[in-house]
Amino acid sequence: MSDELHHADGDELHEHLSAVQTLLARQKLVETLVHRQEMPRHELVEGLLHKQHLSELRARLERMHPADIAYVLEALPLDERLIVWDLVKAERDGDILLEVSDAVRESLIAHMDSHELVAAAESLDADELADLAPDLPHEVIEGVFQSLSVEEREQLRAAMSYPEESVGSIMDFDMVTVREDVTLEVVLRYLRLFDELPDHTDQLFVVDRDEKLKGVLPLNRLLVSDPDTEVGAVMLTDFIDLQPSDEAEEAAQAFERYDLVSAPVVDAQHRLIGRVTVNTVVDFIREESEAEQLAQAGLKEEEDIFASVWDSVKNRWAWLAINLVTAFVASRVIGAFENSIEKLVALAALMPIVAGIGGNSGNQTITMIVRAIAIGQVQPDAIRRLLRKEINVALINGMIWGGLLGLAAWWMYGSAPLGMVMTAAMTLNLLLAAIAGVSIPLLRERLGADPAVGGSVLITALTDSGGFFIFLGLATLFLM
């Protein structure tokens, strides 16, 4: 890219954000000082200073890539975010809306009128517009739809018809096709007619007159082969293709496994209808990873860190309510052994260790299983093998770490039976954590639910209550 518009690295991103925040803070400070001063032409001075700071800010934004502007917008409180958003050139609105998180996009769209939204949407390709469409008002989509050509309307209908997380939802329609009976010289002359090739074009797609995909022509073959050779002689007929109904996760795995830059998408009749590129796959993987992290923590969706209190409460309340119930259960377990704790105060000091290590072990297990499910490594019949393996891991860890904790308890409190109870309780709680860590995500998947949702909340609840019950129960049986 040119110097005027380029991708920023991590340090540059922080520099951009810091500079924008400094300019915004300076503007607020000057406005405050001018308001306090009694001077002639008060409004004129204030207006000039205001324009000066906004001009500096606008100049910086014009040099930034849309993705970098999106980063800055996400890091600003709502009032400052809207100031910056108003300074962005209108023709860049669509690209920036695609880059920001869903939560921040909602706040920006709510600030725009219908004409601005239509203008932003009209600047996008059909596949990009399909990504943005769910967040746009119905009348805006209708207005944009009317402005599209017949081909673009069909592409938009197709893109919006595919379910989320399918290949169809991440494919684009911008690609170069050629015939197999033309020479490479003709193909090269054809390519020179383009102002620029579609992003991430590493191969051309060879189709017949019915648009059926016959092969692919990598650019490196095109460039090094004899120009008089026909396309059919150098094209590859052994290639990876996708169907729009395929899972996007499967496509992502194929891109990773075969180091793909692009892959064709064909319909049931093997007609070429689009392509998937590595940039959309990377975006999909990142979004899935973020969604999984949020789900494990019991969050419904990505949250704007500067969202209103009420919006944040709505996003978090469900699993907090579940956590409250499980915490109450854990407290009742402890309450049932009050007499034992009164007789041996050491139990109160040691029982959080058993519960805490069990929770950590369970979270390790559930993270591994959820990841394996996500990349297709776990089949429904694998539960027994996984359980057997994780139980063996838990037994070894229990004997090693439980034994060390048992020795520590014996040394601190001078009681060998207490040390043995500590070792047994640790081992049993690790076994519980292993069984739960394997079973929870696999059972949720079998029931058609997201295996990642609330995993850490559930595992912590089980290992807390179970750890307290096991440790205090064993102590009551063997120490009282």
Contacts of 124 (CB under 8 A, 6+ apart): 94, 95, 98, 132
Same domain, 383 and 326: yes
pLDDT tens-digit readout, 118-160: 888 888 888 888 888 888 888 888 888 888 888 888 888 888 8
Same domain, 14 and 95: yes
**Do the domain assignments include residue 304?**
no
pLDDT over 90, % of the chain: 28
pLDDT score at 2:
41
pLDDT tens-digit readout, 10-43: 677 888 888 888 878 777 776 665 555 554 555 5
Alpha carbons 181 and 340: distance in angstroms, whole number: 87
Same domain, 358 and 416: yes
> Which position has the token pair 């309340």?
317
CATH of the domain at 467: 1.10.357.20
Q: How many CB atoms lie within 10 A of CB 13?
A: 18
**Do the domain assignments include residue 302?**
no
More confident residue, 275 or 388: 275
The average confidence (pLDDT) of the chain is 83
Domain final position from 111, 140, 165: 165
Query: In angstroms, what CA-CA distances link 323 with 240, 316, 329, 387?
Result: 46, 11, 10, 26
Same domain, 365 and 444: yes
Domain final position from 131, 165, 199: 165
Which of the four pLDDT bands, split at 50, 70 and 90, describes residue 4? very low
User: What is the span of the domain harbouring residue 330?
Assistant: 309-479
**Do the domain assignments include residue 419?**
yes
Alpha carbons 61 and 56: distance in angstroms, whole number: 9
pLDDT score at 45:
46
The backbone torsions φ and ψ at residue 203, rounded to the nearest 5 degrees and listed phi first, read -155, 150
Asked whether 362 and 433 are in contact (CB, 8 A), the reply is yes
Ranges 149-158, 269-278, 414-423: which has the least confidence: 149-158
Ranges 49-53, 106-110, 111-115, 124-128: which has the least confidence: 49-53
Which of the four pLDDT bands, split at 50, 70 and 90, describes residue 281? very high
Which of the four pLDDT bands, split at 50, 70 and 90, describes residue 413? confident
> Region 234-238: what's the mean pLDDT?
95
Burial per residue of 455-470, b for 16 or more beta-carbon CB atoms within 10 angstroms, e otherwise: bbbbbbbbbbbbbbbb
Which of the four pLDDT bands, split at 50, 70 and 90, describes residue 184? very high
Same domain, 292 and 328: no
**How many domains are contained in the chain?**
3
pLDDT tens-digit readout, 67-92: 899 989 988 888 888 888 988 888 88
Does 435 have pLDDT greater than 80? Answer: yes
Same domain, 421 and 473: yes
Ranges 97-106, 256-265, 284-293: which has the least confidence: 284-293
Size (the chain), residues = 480
Domain final position from 114, 144, 165: 165
Alpha-carbon torsion, ordered 217, 223, 225, 231, to 10 deg: 30
Model-wide pTM > 0.75: no
Q: How many CB atoms lie within 10 A of CB 45?
A: 14
Same domain, 318 and 254: no
pLDDT score at 3:
42
Same domain, 33 and 136: yes
CATH of the domain at 233: 3.10.580.10
